[in-house]
A and B are shown apart, each in its own frame.
Chain A
Amino acid sequence: QKEVEQNSGPLSVPEGAIASLNCTYSDRGSQSFFWYRQYSGKSPELIMFIYSNGDKEDGRFTAQLNKASQYVSLLIRDSQPSDSATYLCAVNGWGKLVFGAGTILRVKS
């Protein structure tokens, strides 16, 4: 079982829609959770981080964490073509930061 799992996609949504990206993790001791966006050929950039159960909102982005279900999600509201990228979920437990394989998001105008 992989430590961090994501659906590889691609996830296609129309412009203006809500994109929902999901991630599960295996280590119950994980303490911090992150979403990164990576454009082709570039390094990942941090979008959101969340440490506690519940929702955290930042602009068009909402991160959701459910530690009991070992599940993290990212919602992108009012999706734009510029949001088209690979979204990487990362989980940190005891100083070891592990990434999922990423979900490709395509926003169609």
Chain B
Amino acid sequence: DGGITQSPKYLFRKEGQNVTLSCEQNLNHDAMYWYRQDPGQGLRLIYYSQIVNDFQKGDIAEGYSVSREKKESFPLTVTSAQKNPTAFYLCASSIGSNTEAFFGQGTRLTVV
């Protein structure tokens, strides 16, 4: 089945630890995005990539890092520099940079 897979669905980490969230798509999409959603809030853009080996910072990139070494993969690392990492993280992809995007199921990260 084609789609966007985020793993794990739930993730718990201790404060001060880096953690990497996985996002894989088999839709042959060029563009990929990472968003953060806090309770009762909208989606805030962390990073986006329009093509392999290239990515841009979104509105809240501080404390996060990404890589885009393969077309199908866009992992997000939440570093210890991120002051409030507990949130719902959503990955999306689209065929092109201005076309409709589709979302994975999300990863709920809790840092204690």
Residues of A within 8 A of B (CB): 6, 31-32, 34, 42-46, 49, 88, 90, 92, 94-102
Q: How large is the interface on B (under 10, 10 to 19, 20 to 34, 35 or more residues)?
A: 20 to 34
Q: List 18 A-B contacts (CB under 8 A).
A: A32-B100, A34-B100, A42-B105, A43-B104, A46-B100, A46-B101, A92-B98, A95-B48, A95-B50, A95-B56, A96-B45, A96-B48, A96-B56, A97-B33, A97-B48, A98-B59, A99-B42, A99-B44
What DSSP secondary structure best describes chain A's contact surface? Answer: strand
Q: How far is the CB of A48 from chain B (nearest CB, A)?
A: 9
Known: A88-B43, A96-B45. A43 touches B105 (CB 8 A): yes
Known: A43-B90, A46-B100. A97 touches B45 (CB 8 A): yes
Decide: B101 and A34 in contact? CB cutoff 8 A.
yes
In the complex, which residues of chain B have a beta carbon less than 8 angstroms from the beta carbon of A32? 98-100
B102 within 8 A of A: yes
B97 within 8 A of A: yes
B85 within 8 A of A: no
Task: Enumerate the 6 nearest inter-chain pairs by beta-carbon distance, A residue then B residue, closest first.
Answer: A95-B97, A101-B42, A99-B43, A43-B103, A32-B98, A95-B50
Q: How far is the CB of A49 from chain B (nearest CB, A)?
A: 5
Whole-angstrom CA separation of A94 from B44 in the bound complex: 17
Whole-angstrom CA separation of A90 from B99 in the bound complex: 11
Decide: B42 and A96 in contact? CB cutoff 8 A.
no
Closest to B57 in A: A96
Within 44-64 of B, Cβ neighbours of A (below 8 Å) are at 44-45, 48, 50, 56, 58-59
